[in-house]
Chain A
Amino acid sequence: MNLIILKPNKENLQTYLVLGIVFLSIGFIDIISNSFLNFNITGFLPSIISYLSPLILGILGLHFIRIEYSGNKTLDQINKNLNSSNINAILSLIVIFILIKYVPSLLNWAFFDANFLGNTKEDCTGNGACWVFVKVWFNRFMYGMYPDAEQWRINTSFLVLFGSIVSIFVLPNKFKKYIILFLLFIFPIIALNLISGGIFGLKWIETGAWGGLSLTFIVSAFALIFCFPIGVFLALGRRSDLPAIKYSSIGFIELWRGVPLITVLFMSAVMFPMFLPDGTYMDKLMRVIIAITLFEAAYMAEVVRGGLQALPRGQYDAAKSLGMGYWRMHFLIIMPQALKLVIPGIANTFLALVKDTPLIFVVGLLELAGMIGLAKTNPEWLGMATEGYVFAAFVFWIICFSMSRYSQNLEKKLSTER
Chain B
Amino acid sequence: MNLKTFSLDLKNKKRLIPQVLTLLFIVLLISYFTFNAQVNMDNRGIAFGFGFLTQEASFDIGFSLIDYDGSRSYARAFLVGLLNTLLVSVIGIIIATLIGVTVGIGRLSSNYLVAKFAEVYVEIFRNIPLLLQLFFWYFAALRALPLPEQAMNFNDISYLTVKGWYVPKFIWTNFSIFIYSVIAAFIAIIFVSKHAKKQREEFGKHIPSFYIGITLLFALPFLSFLIGGVELEFEIPVLKQMSATIFNFRGGVSIIPELMALAMALSMYTATFIAENVRAGILGVGKGQKEAAASIGLTKAQILKLVVLPQALRIIIPPTTNQYLNLTKNSSLAAAIAYPDIVLVFAGTALMQTGRAIEIVSITMGTYLLLSLSISSFMNWYNQSVAIKEK
Contacts and interface: CB of A to CB of B under 8 A. Distances in A.
Contacts of B347: 263, 266
Interface string B100-126: 000000000111111001000001101
A91 B112 CA distance: 10
Nearest to B325: A258
Interface of A: 80-82, 84, 88, 91-92, 95-96, 242-245, 248, 254-255, 257-264, 266-267, 270-271, 273-278, 354-359, 361-362, 369, 372-373, 376, 385-386, 389-390, 392-393, 396-397, 400-401, 404
Contacts of A354: 129
Given A242-B15, A400-B126, 4 more contacts: A82-B113, A260-B343, A271-B361, A396-B128
B198 interface: no
Q: Which are the 7 A-B pairs with shortest beta-carbon distances?
A: A244-B19, A400-B127, A386-B140, A258-B372, A260-B329, A81-B112, A385-B139
A273 B36 CA distance: 9
Contacts of A84: 110-111
A237 B131 CA distance: 34
Q: How many residues of B sit at the interface, in one of the four size bands?
A: 35 or more
Interface stretch (B148-156, B179-187, B313-321, B330-338): B330-338
18 contacts: A82-B113, A255-B369, A257-B372, A260-B330, A260-B368, A271-B357, A275-B33, A276-B36, A278-B43, A356-B129, A358-B131, A362-B335, A362-B336, A385-B140, A389-B136, A397-B127, A400-B126, A404-B126
Nearest to B34: A275
B18 interface: yes
B309 interface: no
Contacts of B332: 260, 262-263
Nearest to A275: B33
B219 interface: no
Given A92-B113, A96-B113, A362-B335, A267 B361 contact: yes
Interface string B332-370: 110110000001000100010000011001101100110
Nearest to A95: B113
A113 to B, nearest CB: 16
A355 B111 contact: no
B245 interface: no
Interface of B: 15, 18-20, 22-23, 26, 33, 36-37, 39-41, 43, 109-114, 117, 123-124, 126-133, 135-136, 139-140, 143-144, 329-330, 332-333, 335-336, 343, 347, 351, 357-358, 361-362, 364-365, 368-369, 372-373
A393 B373 CA distance: 33
B361 A266 contact: yes
A393 B117 CA distance: 19
B361 A270 contact: yes
B114 A91 contact: yes
Given A358-B132, A369-B132, A95 B18 contact: no
Contacts of A92: 111, 113-114
A273 B335 CA distance: 22
B129 A244 contact: no
Given A244-B19, A393-B133, A397-B128, A267 B365 contact: yes
Given A376-B139, A390-B136, A359 B333 contact: yes
A277 to B, nearest CB: 5
A389 B365 contact: no
Nearest to B131: A358
A91 B361 contact: no
Contacts of B18: 242, 245
Contacts, number: 156
A81 B110 contact: yes
A95 to B, nearest CB: 4
A52 to B, nearest CB: 18
Contact of A404 (B15, B39, B127): B127
Nearest to A372: B135
Given A260-B330, A263-B364, A358-B131, A81 B111 contact: yes
Contacts of A82: 111-113
Contact of A88 (B110, B351, B361): B110
B113 A91 contact: yes
A378 to B, nearest CB: 14
A358 B135 CA distance: 11
A267 B111 CA distance: 49
Contacts of A262: 332-333, 335, 343
A245 B117 CA distance: 49
**B40, B131, B373: most-surrounded residue (chain A CB, <10 A):** B131
B128 A400 contact: yes
Contacts of A255: 369
A396 B129 contact: yes
A242 B132 CA distance: 44
Nearest to B362: A271
Contacts of A274: 36-37, 40-41, 357-358
A258 B127 contact: no
B131 to A, nearest CB: 4
Given A96-B113, A278-B43, A369-B135, A393 B128 contact: yes
B385 to A, nearest CB: 22
Nearest to A88: B111
B143 A95 contact: no
Contacts of B357: 270-271, 274
Contacts of B373: 254, 258
A81 B368 CA distance: 47
Contacts of A277: 36, 39
Contacts of B41: 274
A81 B114 CA distance: 10
Contacts of B110: 80-81, 84, 88
Contacts of A88: 109-111, 114
A315 B111 CA distance: 47
A258 B132 contact: no
A91 B109 contact: yes
A92 B131 CA distance: 33
A242 B19 contact: yes
B129 A355 contact: yes
Nearest to A81: B112
Nearest to A280: B36
Contacts of B19: 242-245
